[in-house]
Structure 1
């Protein structure tokens, strides 16, 4: 029996806490101690749970259940060898106690010996009638081993034994999704729904599978049934809104997102999506209002700040866009797309050093798109840093070894640096790969384009 704050059955708990305050030892039967310990563990009050275990074992030294709680504490504190020894002792006393096997499996799992944990849990299955929890534990161990088919099988057993085990249902769908078995997930959910037609969770999951496959009409129908099954199901309204956005039914999407604001505390996700829908409907003032509400609701939601950044960027108000992109980067400084946007905004504001920094950071984060290399290199040329530009384009050539745009830029730079042999080599490479980009020399290096050697090389190609 578990105690609650307003539980009429919590007299033993009150009595126990009174005893701790007075240091006057009172007697409790072993079951009362078990309930007290269970309550403290659920509340995360480990110190009090340990006191209850000690006092319980002082009064009931042969209680296996109280000693199993001691094992649980050992495992929690990562004292696995102590837990193991105590379990061996308990197994010698009562080899048919399934909880001993469960705790043994828990220790194997903590040691990353998941195969052994599964073997022990399967032994426990033969000793208990409460099989659902064991199926779930075995399923989780298979997940640790990345054996998703096996995990799925055991979570399905959970659901067969307890049709309301939504945790198992979520885990089954997780396995299907990880295995990219969306069609199979749909078939499974449809069979499940034939037996449980008012299961809103299953309808919701079915809708998500159809959404992944871009079958938006079927997804919409699934969410309709989820809402019929539970008209307060916030998740179904949110997902329905996402489908309606894909169908470009923005007003209907707004209606669904707005319903969620009345059913529960406003979520930054719903506010952000409403803002986005208003922007697509060209309701600019309303869009900005909802974006503002989004970041007010969750100031650490970088996507909210990015939405405002893009809003002002489209309007050409680059100063405001720069202010808000900085807020997004302060929240997530490892996001490549944010740094790229940061660079583009600074470039439009003619803040070339900051723009170059943005492109450099983008490259450091692993974005090796050709345009990023070109943009950064061109800014270095503009900033009068030819050596840095050469280094940039040389690195780019490792990823794009026969790219004419890079070759012409390197040619222009080496001519600028009076390294004629290297310049000639890259200019001829550029012409070999694509003559049409030769205008780059004149555009980025007008002085170089007037040099006699450059003119002669270009003339040779045009003969």
Structure 2
């Protein structure tokens, strides 16, 4: 039977089954038909219909091991592992050489985080199976759960030996190499694979990524060219090639490659953003802005898009425009710390100090704990006459940056202004001990304090 005829028969069985459900007329199906129907519903995520098919199937074929295994699968899906185990034990007594029983048992053990036991069960299934590729893949995944990347890689290699077009296993092999920081070994493996599969675009693509990691951009470029020769519709190869060309400062060529992806499939925000960035570097400002607009239109949730358009306007000294776009970004995602930091910077440049301080405060509360954020917020609070709040902000910052001279000298200046001489002296001495050269902070931010007789004596 050819594939199209088999598919047609499956569709006929499915239509017949669904018609039966609507009419309540009980029709007969052979067990293989039920298996195909159940498999279809599970693939579609229609668990309730799959359960109906299993129930009816077992009513008509009560001794079918395959249908009972589907029942096990449902039990596992619903996390009813005790029932799944009970039924599996019954099936094992009936048919101990059925590899699917071992696979389901391993699946249960895996869900119970018993990955080593799952591997042992799968290895027992290897003895029974004619086709071992899928079993090695499952074993590989269990080793990944255990962070045993060498063992996982070797298992996936056996899958690829059995089926050289198993690209999922190829990706997993390279993932293991990468996690182990073995880029050179990954390159060696890919080159051996390509000797026998020279037109495998996936392997060329992965080879390019390995060379890119090693900053060998010329070899990466060659690998991506071969990937494109193998499949000139391979979007990933054009994207990665564009990234390499940017590293080589070949921005027009990068734009060309990113642009090809726009014609091959629906535009991606990543490609649009990179095109905009290349045009900005080339000072094609109108084109840069055009592609940044398209980026945020394509994906309003892409933080990098809003930040790019905001920074572009900021660098062009169009601060009101920059503020407009960062406000739009915040209205979409008010929990993004980067948005608030850019909001603060723009308002600071516009001398809107209260808004700037509020922006830095939001950024800190959302997890942006960069030293610059603590220091600038402090300086703004001091400028607003909020010395106590400025000092408290720095005390909080010290939790992240202990023994920091810039913080200590600021605290010294603030406490002298607050006439808390003992605290001021303590922090001044700390600053001098940590890095005396940063006393310039005191000189520039607190000149009156710095010039006072007391401070000069202490310095």
TM superposition score normalised by structure 2: 0.93
CA distance, structure 2, for counterparts of residue 3 and residue 351 of structure 1: 69
Provide structure 1 residue ranges, at least 5 long, that are not aligned to the other structure.
none
1:197 aligns with 2:198: yes
Q: Which residue of 2 aligns with 1:293?
A: 294
Instruction: Pick closer, same or farther for the CA change 1:417–1:119 going to 2, 3 Å.
Output: same
Q: Which residue of 1 aligns with 2:220?
A: 219
1:317 aligns with 2:315: no
- Aligned residues of 2:10 and 2:36 also touching (Cα < 8 A): no
CA distance, structure 1, for counterparts of residue 171 and residue 236 of structure 2: 14
Instruction: Pick closer, same or farther for the CA change 1:56–1:433 going to 2, 3 Å.
Output: closer
Q: CA RMSD in A?
A: 2.3
CA distance, structure 2, for counterparts of residue 158 and residue 326 of structure 1: 51
CA distance, structure 1, for counterparts of residue 405 and residue 70 of structure 2: 71
SS in 2 for 1:231: coil
Q: Which residue of 1 aligns with 2:175?
A: 174
- 1:297-324 Cα shifts (integer Å, max 9, x gaps): 2222221111111110101111221222
Shift of 1:225: 0.4
Shift of 1:264: 1.2
Shift of 1:291: 1.1
Instruction: Pick closer, same or farther for the CA change 1:353–1:196 going to 2, 3 Å.
Output: same
CA distance, structure 2, for counterparts of residue 234 and residue 105 of structure 1: 37
SS in 2 for 1:163: coil
Shift of 1:376: 1.4
Deviates more, 1:383-392 or 1:4-13: 4-13
Q: Which residue of 1 aligns with 2:51?
A: 50
Instruction: Pick closer, same or farther for the CA change 1:290–1:58 going to 2, 3 Å.
Output: same
- 1:391-428 Cα shifts (integer Å, max 9, x gaps): 22234445555444333322222222222222233344
Q: Which residue of 1 aligns with 2:456?
A: 458
Q: Which residue of 1 aligns with 2:149?
A: 148
Superposed, which structure 2 residues align to 1:118-157 within 5 Å?
118-157=119-158
- 1:28-59 Cα shifts (integer Å, max 9, x gaps): 11111111111111121111111111111111
CA distance, structure 2, for counterparts of residue 116 and residue 17 of structure 1: 40
Q: Which residue of 1 aligns with 2:99?
A: 98
Q: Structure 1: which 4+ aligned runs deviate by more than 6 Å?
A: 1-6
Instruction: Pick closer, same or farther for the CA change 1:50–1:311 going to 2, 3 Å.
Output: same
Shift of 1:89: 0.5
Instruction: Pick closer, same or farther for the CA change 1:460–1:238 going to 2, 3 Å.
Output: closer
- 1:273-316 Cα shifts (integer Å, max 9, x gaps): 11111111111111111111111222222211111111101011
CA distance, structure 2, for counterparts of residue 332 and residue 177 of structure 1: 33
Instruction: Pick closer, same or farther for the CA change 1:148–1:433 going to 2, 3 Å.
Output: closer
Deviates more, 1:403-412 or 1:56-65: 403-412
Instruction: Pick closer, same or farther for the CA change 1:280–1:199 going to 2, 3 Å.
Output: same
Q: Which residue of 1 aligns with 2:410?
A: 409
Provide structure 2 residue ranges, at least 5 long, that are not aligned to the other structure.
none
Q: Which residue of 1 aligns with 2:259?
A: 258
- Aligned residues of 1:272 and 1:291 also touching (Cα < 8 A): yes
Superposed, which structure 2 residues align to 1:178-189 within 5 Å?
178-189=179-190
CA distance, structure 2, for counterparts of residue 427 and residue 106 of structure 1: 63
Shift of 1:210: 0.6
- 1:409-462 Cα shifts (integer Å, max 9, x gaps): 222222222222222333444455555554544543455456xxx32441575x
CA distance, structure 1, for counterparts of residue 370 and residue 194 of structure 2: 46
Q: Which residue of 1 aligns with 2:209?
A: 208
Instruction: Pick closer, same or farther for the CA change 1:328–1:172 going to 2, 3 Å.
Output: farther
- 1:375-399 Cα shifts (integer Å, max 9, x gaps): 1111111122111111222344455
Deviates more, 1:380-389 or 1:202-211: 380-389
TM superposition score normalised by structure 1: 0.93
Superposed, which structure 2 residues align to 1:50-449 within 5 Å?
50-331=51-332, 335-431=336-432, 436-438=437-439, 440-441=441-442, 443-449=444-450
Length, aligned pairs only: 458
CA distance, structure 1, for counterparts of residue 212 and residue 450 of structure 2: 55
